Amino acid sequence: MVAHFKLVEHQRKARGWKGFVLPQSNCTTVGLVVSLKPIVDAFGVKRVIATTMQAISGAGRAGGVLGLDMVDNLVPFIPKEEEKVAKETGKILGRLGEGTIAPHPMLVGATCTRAAILDGHTAAVAIETEKPCSPEAAAEALRAWGGDYAGMDLPSAPKRPIIVHDDPFRPQPRLDRDAEGGMATSVGRLRPEPALPNGLKYVCLSHNTQIGASKGLVLTAEYLYKAGLIGA
């Protein structure tokens, strides 16, 4: 979250640096966090259970997944991925403290799989909210969210950070991963989850090599420049 950028000055002072180190989050976590943020703000979230279907491009050349390995296949395990998703989701949605981030107390459980998709990470998400949240109310909150960079006129920022689909057959990677130049998170199939108190479930999709990697970092750099934290 943008509020966490205040840690840049803390890092500089604590280490005596002129520069700073700012890591990119896990590419799967990006779409999940974007879809959760408006709901966290409006209704609160206690619990998140997510199953991901991740593109083969997310593995990279060193990831051990070749195109031929994925034909007619789904790999049910990605080493260390589930731990990253759980930890980073809580941290990104956490609150800034004195020189640190207090993770959001929500419980996050993830099952991460590799699917026969070229680009685009999809997640089936079930959440327990603190306040009752109907699918209609969740859709309204998602559509209204403008992103932490709203009004900053950043070149890489999407006009619609979240696109909500009413068609139950969307989002799909081939149809929706390139929305807003690959910088939007698409959400669909919003519906109640009767297995959880105040339960809600949905499907979200984000482009793992755009908002989840290269262009996401460009957007971060644009924000840092606009905020005066880096020079031209």
Q: Quote the CA–CA distance of 195 and 200 in Å, as a whole number.
A: 9
Based on DSSP, count helices (H) and strands (E) in the chain, helices before strands.
7, 9
Q: How many CB atoms lie within 10 A of CB 1?
A: 14
* DSSP conformation class of 161: S
Active-site option among 104, 121, 165, 207: 121
Nearest to 58 by CA among 210, 218, 221, 220: 210
Structure tokens at 12: 């500089």
27 is catalytic: yes
Between CA 10 and CA 7 the distance in angstroms is: 5
CB 148 within 8 Å of CB 89 = no
The answer to whether the CB of 224 falls within 8 A of the CB of 196 is: no
Any catalytic annotation for residue 121?
yes
Catalytic residues: 27, 121
